[in-house]
A and B are shown apart, each in its own frame.
Chain A
Amino acid sequence: MTEQSATADQELPVIARFEVRRRSYLAPDGKVLRQLPAFAADANVLRSLYRGMVLTRTFDLKAVSLQRTGRLGTYAVSLGQEAVSVGVASAMREEDVIVPSYRDNGALLWRGMKMEEILLFWGGDERGNRSSGPAHDLPYCIPVGSQAPHAAGVAYAFFLRKQPRVAVCLFGDGATSKGDVWEAMNFAGVWKLPVIFVANNNQWAISVPLKLQTASETLAQKAIAAGFAGEQVDGNDVIAVHAAMADAIADARAGKGPRLIEALTYRLSDHTTADDAGRYRPAEEVQARWKEEPIARLRSYLVSQKVWGKSDEEELVADCQQRVEAAVERYLAVGPRAPETMFDYLYAELPRVYASQREELKRNRHGRSDG
């Protein structure tokens, strides 16, 4: 650059400035960093969030052991990210719609999906996705990021019908590299739709670290180009996640448009049970991140406030284990489906040409080949 053009640049007016804020309340050791939001004064609310996270972890770890013993298919663990799932879902209302990714087990549990249903889905049976959660919720999205336009479409339906409802879309850091997420945010910005995008930034997309995913300083700032605010929260601080979501959802419900919440966390587990994270990241890194995990953090705070004690903890752990074991028993007791049921929900009404294929399947199953 010549001296002359440098001077000219300095005279160009700044036409826009942006900022991204970061929200956190609890330090990794549970110490309070700044004044807590009002809801945190209610110990019952915090204990409820804590229970949700512990149940999620208990369930996740059991799911892994089921997979390791051949009783479950590939499973995406949310170890270390429980505060994102629970903080997000706990800020929603029943009539809102969650649009989840494949790792949001804790959020779906909170929304009312039963543990045996989650296991049934990952155990290879679509019946799990019938879900006892809200009937309008979307199921797990397996392809990365392609659920984001659905969330915008869901929010558009609320907008058109003038319903005070909000769509909440969860995806990972990897998904923010996809056009799907951008296209959805862009549309949501144009129409000021009631949708909250949650980027669960666990910093690894299988083996690809965030720095190879984007040169953007934060993921939250990706909202700015779409014309709405993005906020980064400490995703291991469930109070921060819940508070950020409660604010964003209240604004969206009031017609103030979308928001992007980047929840900065860390994937303490392998990507899924089919992955070996030891191939691409050092154990020391993971070890260090264990010091920041969300469950111990909230427990430290609750203990410091004298609203949680050893007997509470023992009772909770036993209760979670008992509930998970009971759910596993119910899951393992689910009987097989008749194979021809694979046709049952292909269309509202099965076209006659496929009805004959269903009969063919039945005949084949009974060992009578049709030719």
Chain B
Amino acid sequence: MAEVTLVEAITLALARAMDEDPNVVVLGEDVGVNGGVFRATAGLQQRFGADRVIDTPLAELLISGLCVGMATQGLKPVGEIQFMGFMYPCIDQLVNHASRIRTRTQGRLSCPMVLRTPYGAGIRAPEHHSESTEAMLAHIPGLRVVTPSSPERAYGLLLGAIRDPDPVVFLEPTRIYRAAKGNVEDDGEALPLDVAFILREGRDVTLISWGAMVKETSAAAEELAADGIDAEVIDLATLKPYDEDAVLSSVAKTGRCVIVHEAARTGGFGAEIAALIAERGLLSLLAPVVRVTGYDTIVPLPRLEQEYMPSVGRIVAAARNACQSG
């Protein structure tokens, strides 16, 4: 077992998947010789050849469309989009083809593809490199949307995504690509794609987050503990489908819920969770559900991006507030 970063765990999972299944191919811009702009595919082309680790032309729609065509014939393509900001040409392929080809052929064809992309703010990147539009993707029926928050979960969830017989968008939190370190056993063990992770058990308030924000959310829980508030931390990890039971049973226990995401608030995935609790967990609530999110603004360029992102302080304040009611 070795200590690796989150992005290194991605590479380990890709290599493992390519090694165990000749149908797995990796494709994207600069994924070959260069090993990807974040080095997520480092060394794969040398090991598996240029036919299985394909440097594509600079065309994101193409990458997603190739994945669909390959997948219908039984390949298991893993496409990489360099940044989430450049994946929008793929939306047509995801909505109109990848997510529905099993339904529209009544099972005759399927689409076992993965589209990976780094997402989220906080790396002082240029414009278009910081958005979190996961809710848009989680709205698409037939798709799976997955986002890890640690090297261990990155490894297990990516293996699960590649082995899954349906299309998966795999969102990689750029900000913790290298900041998150963990001991990853390269044992080929996949994690399930619809089970949330309880990172910290607690009685007083449920904190729900995913991706890079799990870091601030966990730090907030520690700070709250110092105040005598016992917070439960849930890493949702899979947004589509998501683990409704984990959310509801935690809220049934704590009676309070703070949802943390860096995406803009309106129509963000937090709204879905809040609606679920309102529909099926309302009677156990001791305080209103609170969202701590990015604002409904364009993600600002680096000089202001820290002001945009939910901070440990904002999460702690929201949780304290919730604990004061009821």
Contact = CB atoms under 8 A, between A and B. Distances in A.
Contacts of A209: none
A130 B65 contact: no
Given A149-B61, A184-B62, A347-B166, A130 B106 contact: yes
B177 to A, nearest CB: 28
A358 interface: no
Contact of A130 (B97, B105, B194): B105
Interface in B90-104: 92-93, 96-97, 101-104
Interface residues on A, range: 35 or more
A129 B105 contact: yes
The listed residue with most A CB atoms (<10 A of its CB), out of B25, B65, B107, is: B65
A24 interface: no
B125 interface: no
A135 B108 contact: yes
Contacts of A269: none
A160 interface: yes
A186 B57 contact: yes
B142 A157 contact: no
Nearest to A138: B72
B67 interface: yes
A148 interface: yes
Contacts of A129: 104-106, 108
B273 to A, nearest CB: 13
B134 to A, nearest CB: 17
Interface in B117-136: none
A190 B27 CA distance: 14
Given A130-B108, A139-B104, A187-B57, A160 B62 contact: no
A157 B70 CA distance: 6
Contact of B70 (A153, A183, A186): A153
A331 to B, nearest CB: 16
Contacts of A179: 59, 61, 89
A351 interface: yes
B21 interface: no
Nearest to B193: A351
A229 interface: no
A54 interface: no
A154 interface: yes
Given A97-B73, A136-B72, A143 B109 contact: no
B67 A153 contact: yes
B267 interface: no
B68 A153 contact: yes
Interface in B42-92: 51-52, 54, 56-57, 59, 61-62, 64-75, 77, 89, 92
Interface string B25-52: 1000000000000000000000000011
Contacts of A126: 103-106
B65 A146 contact: yes
B77 A153 contact: yes
Nearest to B52: A160
A354 B103 CA distance: 15
Contact of B73 (A148, A157, A184, A345): A157
27 contacts: A126-B103, A126-B106, A131-B105, A136-B73, A138-B69, A146-B93, A146-B96, A146-B97, A149-B62, A153-B69, A153-B70, A154-B72, A154-B73, A156-B75, A180-B62, A183-B61, A184-B65, A186-B59, A187-B62, A342-B103, A346-B103, A347-B102, A347-B144, A347-B166, A348-B110, A352-B194, A353-B241
Interface of B: 25, 51-52, 54, 56-57, 59, 61-62, 64-75, 77, 89, 92-93, 96-97, 101-110, 141-142, 144, 164-166, 194, 241-242, 244
Interface of A: 97, 99, 126-127, 129-131, 135-136, 138-139, 142-143, 146, 148-160, 167, 179-180, 183-184, 186-187, 190, 342, 344-348, 351-354
Closest 7 A/B residue pairs (Cβ): A153-B69, A149-B65, A150-B69, A183-B62, A153-B66, A348-B165, A157-B73
